[in-house]
């Protein structure tokens, strides 16, 4: 039988994921702190709950897609009393290593089955169901969560024991932040040197250094299109998580700290809710 699903958090990522869970024919109840974001989901056939506890009542799988560890713990504390005995909690927000370990410990304490499942991909992939899910947890839970993970993603990579998915997510986001910082620097540099930034794309076109992501973000910067796919505020959070994980594992976090500084400058100059590409404004500052 198809699992009944509850999804808590309808931000940039959660909204798209919710639509795809419905499109897969699964019964879905949703909750969001700001209730206005739930209206389109009600129209699409989801049950909109007034509280996290109401949303998880009767659910077989509970998905969290919230901002950070504090918000996940806060919301799941509110939901706790209504969680069923056989529920599986699929945690998809980016919480880093320590955050995920803390949240998994709370799940264990409460006897709730837990799958760590951060995702790769931004707003577009969340909306079209093509996220890559970096899942980790007990093998026995895979079948129970598969209908949900298949609905939100094009691929699920099972990584290992709980927490390893979130560690891999840090590895991937270290790359994303480094590349975006590099693109912003190259565009700003081209402009500062009196060159058309398109020449940068022309120069790397088709070579080993080229990537769809580079063309996408360079074009967005040049067009001044900073509509959030992944906002600068989220990038700053993740740069902090990556730097902390690097330090704790004996690596020098200097590069990530430099990127963190750039992201902070973008926020301080009023670009926090814009796309990560707005780190360009820091390179120009
Ligand atoms: P977002 O648009 O900022 O949405 C954040 C969500 O968390 C909203 O539903 C927000 O509610 C809720 N929230 C924040 N603080 C809360 C609190 N204290 N109590 C209750 N709810 C709270 O962020 P997003 O881009 O969807 O990202 C969500 C998570 O996915 C983050 O961990 C992010 O790092 C990760 N992620 C993002 C992307 C991306 O490209 N955007 C990609 C992969 C992973 P309100 O609507 O009321 O503010």
Q: Looking at residue 272, what is its pLDDT?
A: 98
187: Cβ–Cβ under 8 A, 6 or more apart, which residues? Answer: 197, 200, 218, 221, 222, 280, 283
* pLDDT tens per residue, range 215-246: 999 999 999 999 999 999 999 999 999 999 99
Candidate from 31, 48, 49, 66 with most ligand 1 atoms within 8 A of CB, to mutate? 66
Spell out the domains of the chain, with CATH numbers in brackets. Answer: 5-160 (3.40.50.720), 167-284 (1.10.1040.10)
The whole-number average pLDDT for the span 158-176 is: 98
Phi, psi of 133 (to 5 degrees): -95, 125
Q: Looking at residue 192, what is its pLDDT?
A: 97
Q: How many angstroms separate the CA atoms of 133 and 148, rounded?
A: 11
- Ligand 1 atom 31, closest CA: 67
Average pLDDT, the chain: 97
Residue (of 78, 99, 103) closest to 89 by Cα position: 103
134: Cβ–Cβ under 8 A, 6 or more apart, which residues? Answer: 117, 118, 119, 120, 157, 159, 165, 166, 168, 169, 172
Instruction: Quickly list DSSP for 217-249.
Output: HHHHHHHT----SSBHHHHHHHHHHHHHHHHHT
Residue 285's pLDDT band, with cuts at 50, 70 and 90, is confident
pTM summary value: 0.96
Which residues line ligand 1 at a C-beta cut-off of 6 Å? 9-14, 32-34, 37, 65-67, 71, 74-75, 93-94, 119, 122-123, 229-230, 234, 238
Which single residue is written with the structure tokens 């969001």? Answer: 32
């Amino acid at each position: 039988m198809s699992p009944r699903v509850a999804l808590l958090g309808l931000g940039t990522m959660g909204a798209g994921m919710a639509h795809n869970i419905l499109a897969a024919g699964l019964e879905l109840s949703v909750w969001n702190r700001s209730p206005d974001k739930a209206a389109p989901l009600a129209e699409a056939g989801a049950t909109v709950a007034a509280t996290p506890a109401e949303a998880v009542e009767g659910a077989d799988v509970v998905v969290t897609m919230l901002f950070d560890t504090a918000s996940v713990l806060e919301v799941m504390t509110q939901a706790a009393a209504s969680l069923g005995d056989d529920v599986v909690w699929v945690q998809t927000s980016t919480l880093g290593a320590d955050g995920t370990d803390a949240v998994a410990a709370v799940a264990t304490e409460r006897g709730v089955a837990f799958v760590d499942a951060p995702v790769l991909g931004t707003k577009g992939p969340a909306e079209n169901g093509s996220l890559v899910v970096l899942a980790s947890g007990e093998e026995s839970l895979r079948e129970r969560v598969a209908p949900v993970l298949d609905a939100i993603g094009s691929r699920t990579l099972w990584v290992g024991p709980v927490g390893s998915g979130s560690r891999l997510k840090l590895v991937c986001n270290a790359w994303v932040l480094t590349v975006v910082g590099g693109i912003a620097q190259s565009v700003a540099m081209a402009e500062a040197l009196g060159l058309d930034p398109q020449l940068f794309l022309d120069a790397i076109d088709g070579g080993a250094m080229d990537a769809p992501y580079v063309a996408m973000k360079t074009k967005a910067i040049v067009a001044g299109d900073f509509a959030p796919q992944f906002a600068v505020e989220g990038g700053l959070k993740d740069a902090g998580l990556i730097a902390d994980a690097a330090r704790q594992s004996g690596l020098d976090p200097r590069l990530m700290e430099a990127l963190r500084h750039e992201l902070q400058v973008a926020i301080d100059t009023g670009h926090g809710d814009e796309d990560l590409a707005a780190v360009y404004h820091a390179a120009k500052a």
